[in-house]
């Protein structure tokens, strides 16, 4: 296999997960070493380690220092939600994607944002407000705060050309994600941007990501009426 055709960590994760679910590795079985999987699948050891971490986070395997990796005897089933690139989400549904940057500015976040990010003291962050479109119609309105300590290079990104959502998904992998899903009545400003009546019920996705203990971003994404969230495992 050529270097360009090497498997991604998600491919490796799926290969190992399928082997477990098919019964090749039974509950309690010790799995091959990361280096052995890397040799079998012709990929980097770090790729296997990233895949194993995801399987561990999902409750399928358990990893112990100097004890190797085993299939959990009592696998935990957890809901897994991958952060979507909204452009791809629209295009996969057959829509024509559009994007409008409403505003961006560096500012000290309010107390609620500091709490969501686990900040001991307020520090300037980049606030980005943007509207995603599908076939010219409002799709998702996002209000995002990005940590400039964790992601200082975001200052150099042209957010009029590429959304913060897409840039962060492609360039800032996370190790932890907190997610809240709820509904709110549309406030006047959001109703106007989303093309609906004030007071209409709107679906909200609120998400905060970290790399280790360092916050990356927290975002409040408000979907237009009719939006459907689909996740597969």
Instruction: Count the alpha carbons within 13 Å of 23 in the hemisphere toward its beta carbon.
Output: 0
Identify the CA nearest to 208 among candidates 124, 135, 147: 147
Q: Is the dihedral of CA 14, 17, 21, 26 positive or negative?
A: positive
- Residue 79, pLDDT score: 45
The structure tokens listed for 50 are: 């990233």
- Residue 1, pLDDT score: 44
Averaged pLDDT of the chain: 89
The domains of the chain, with CATH numbers, are 3-71 (1.10.10.10), 86-223 (3.40.1410.10)
The single residue listed with the structure tokens 């809240």 is 180
The single residue listed with the structure tokens 């899903």 is 181
- Residue 130, pLDDT score: 98
pTM across the whole model: 0.67
The β-bridge relationship of strands 176-185 and 201-211 is antiparallel
Separation of alpha carbons 223 and 87, rounded Å = 14
- Residue 60, pLDDT score: 85
CB 56 within 8 A of CB 48: no
Separation of alpha carbons 162 and 43, rounded Å = 31
Q: What is the pLDDT of residues 151-185, one digit of tens each?
A: 999 999 999 999 999 999 888 878 789 999 999 99
Tens of pLDDT, residue by residue, the chain (233 residues): 444 467 899 999 989 988 887 778 888 899 999 999 999 999 999 999 999 998 888 778 999 887 799 998 765 544 445 678 899 999 999 999 999 999 999 999 999 999 999 998 889 999 999 999 999 999 999 999 999 999 999 999 999 999 999 999 888 878 789 999 999 999 999 999 999 999 999 999 999 999 878 999 999 999 999 998 876 55
The structure tokens listed for 62 are: 């358990």
């Amino acid at each position: 296999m050529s270097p360009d055709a090497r498997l991604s960590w998600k491919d490796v994760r799926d290969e190992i997960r399928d082997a477990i679910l098919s019964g090749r590795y039974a509950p309690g079985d010790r799995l091959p070493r990361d280096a052995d999987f890397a040799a079998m699948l012709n990929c980097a050891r770090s790729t296997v380690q990233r895949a194993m971490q995801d399987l561990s986070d999902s409750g399928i395997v358990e990893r112990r220092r100097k004890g190797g990796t085993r299939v959990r005897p009592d696998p935990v089933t957890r809901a897994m939600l991958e952060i979507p690139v909204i452009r791809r989400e629209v295009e996969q549904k057959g829509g024509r994607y559009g994007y409008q940057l409403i505003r961006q500015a560096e500012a000290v976040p309010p107390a609620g944002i500091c709490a969501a990010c686990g900040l001991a003291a307020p520090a300037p962050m980049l606030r980005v407000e943007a509207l995603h479109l599908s076939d010219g119609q409002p799709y998702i309105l996002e209000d995002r705060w990005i940590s400039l300590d964790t992601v200082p290079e975001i200052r150099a990104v042209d957010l009029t050309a590429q959304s913060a959502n897409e840039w962060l998904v492609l360039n800032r992998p996370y190790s932890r994600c907190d997610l809240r899903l709820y509904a709110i009545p549309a406030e006047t400003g959001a109703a106007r941007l989303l093309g609906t009546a004030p007071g209409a019920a709107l679906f909200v996705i609120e998400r905060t990501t970290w790399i280790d203990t360092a916050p990356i971003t927290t975002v409040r994404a408000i979907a237009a009426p009719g939006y459907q969230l689909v996740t597969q495992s």
